[in-house]
């Protein structure tokens, strides 16, 4: 089993995922432009690389968890990037959410140098990243998936091989269609219940045991009732992911009218200065539209 793992990108998701890899016994090397998480990982036992190239040269498996497609392309294919340091036979795993065609292009470039690649985006938010219960959806060569399984098992609970390169990112795009719809629907139902004089908290308890049950209703209302709208998963990343969904759908001539409408609400979050709030804070846009603010009383029921 590969034990020398490199991890690039130590944000809300990457840092706890890296800590779980250390706990699972992997020899971890990290790289990030942000120093505080690097220092925290170093204190937990990780080695520190000065560049993606240096990290790739020292590790048999290299993992990235970065904000967007250009970030991944730069770190993998750019100057002092992973490609310059990776050895033939090494494995690249990308946990970022990027365009499927970019994932395929990166995999093709790495294959020219006999480096295997998996696109393996994750779902479950910071809660799942900390607990090691993420859902991981994987595209790429099946033999690479089997090789990476011990890594995935340290990071997540639901691990699914979806198909060839790019298939993991297609699954994540579909996931984000559902996530956005759930966040918007939750905001609407909470405000409707309150407007009609019924406790939103009790409504959630009443419906989440039935057909409306979902991860969003299990996890997010408690934060909102407590007045907590910090990420989580940042609104501007939700907006970015929906842009990927709609751009990809447009390229294939596939209309997604509900997703397009939800995209407008997340666009409004950015315009209203809510870009760094949690994606569940889309309720703030609905509050602005309706004039109905989720009340303090609902949080203490």
User: For this structure, is 172 an active site residue?
Assistant: yes
Name the active-site residue from 15, 99, 172, 240: 172
Q: To the nearest whole number, what is the mean pLDDT of the chain?
A: 96
Contact 55, 46 (CB under 8 A): no
pLDDT higher at 65 or 232: 65
* Whole-prediction pTM: 0.94
- Beta strand extents in the chain (DSSP E only): 4-8, 27-31, 47-48, 61-64, 91-94, 116-119, 122-123, 134-139, 156-163
The yes-or-no verdict on residue 298 having pLDDT over 50 is no
| Residue-range domains of the chain with CATH | 4-164 (3.40.50.720), 170-299 (1.10.1040.10)
Give the burial class of 4: count Cβ atoms within 10 A of its Cβ; 0-12 exposed, 13-18 middle, 19 or more buried. Answer: middle
Tens digit of pLDDT for each residue in 128-158? Answer: 999 999 999 999 999 999 999 999 999 999 9
The yes-or-no verdict on residue 299 having pLDDT over 90 is no
Q: Which pLDDT value is given to residue 295? A: 86
Q: Which pLDDT value is given to residue 301? A: 45
Q: Which pLDDT value is given to residue 297? A: 54
Which residues lie closer than 8 Å to 85 by C-beta, 6 or more apart? Answer: 51, 52, 53, 54, 55, 56, 57, 58
């Amino acid at each position: 089993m590969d034990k020398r793992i490199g991890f690039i990108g130590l944000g809300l998701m990457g840092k706890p995922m890296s800590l779980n890899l250390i706990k699972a016994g992997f020899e971890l090397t990290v790289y990030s432009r942000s120093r505080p998480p690097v220092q925290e990982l170093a204190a937990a036992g990780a080695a520190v690389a000065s560049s993606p190239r240096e990290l790739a040269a020292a590790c048999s498996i290299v993992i990235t968890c970065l904000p967007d497609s250009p970030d991944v392309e730069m770190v993998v294919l750019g100057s002092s990037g992973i490609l310059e340091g990776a050895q033939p036979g090494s494995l690249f795993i990308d946990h970022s959410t990027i365009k499927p065609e970019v994932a395929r292009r990166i995999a093709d470039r790495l294959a020219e140098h006999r480096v295997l690649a998996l696109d393996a985006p994750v779902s479950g938010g910071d809660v799942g990243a900390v607990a090691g219960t993420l859902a991981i959806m994987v595209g790429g060569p099946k033999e690479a998936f089997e090789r990476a399984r011990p890594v995935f098992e340290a990071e997540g609970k639901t691990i699914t091989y979806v198909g060839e390169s790019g298939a993991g990112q297609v699954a994540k795009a579909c996931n984000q269609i559902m996530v956005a719809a759930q966040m918007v629907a939750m905001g609407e139902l909470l405000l409707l219940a309150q407007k009609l004089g019924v406790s939103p908290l009790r409504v959630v308890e009443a419906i989440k045991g039935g057909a409306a049950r979902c991860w969003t209703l299990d996890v997010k209302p408690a934060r909102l009732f407590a007045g907590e709208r910090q990420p989580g998963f940042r609104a501007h990343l939700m907006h970015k992911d929906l842009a990927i969904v709609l751009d990809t759908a447009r390229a294939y001539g596939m209309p997604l009218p509900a997703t397009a409408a939800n995209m407008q609400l997340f666009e409004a979050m950015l315009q209203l200065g809510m870009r760094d709030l949690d994606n569940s804070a889309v309720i703030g846009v609905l509050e602005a539209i309706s004039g109905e603010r989720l009340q303090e009383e609902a949080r203490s029921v």
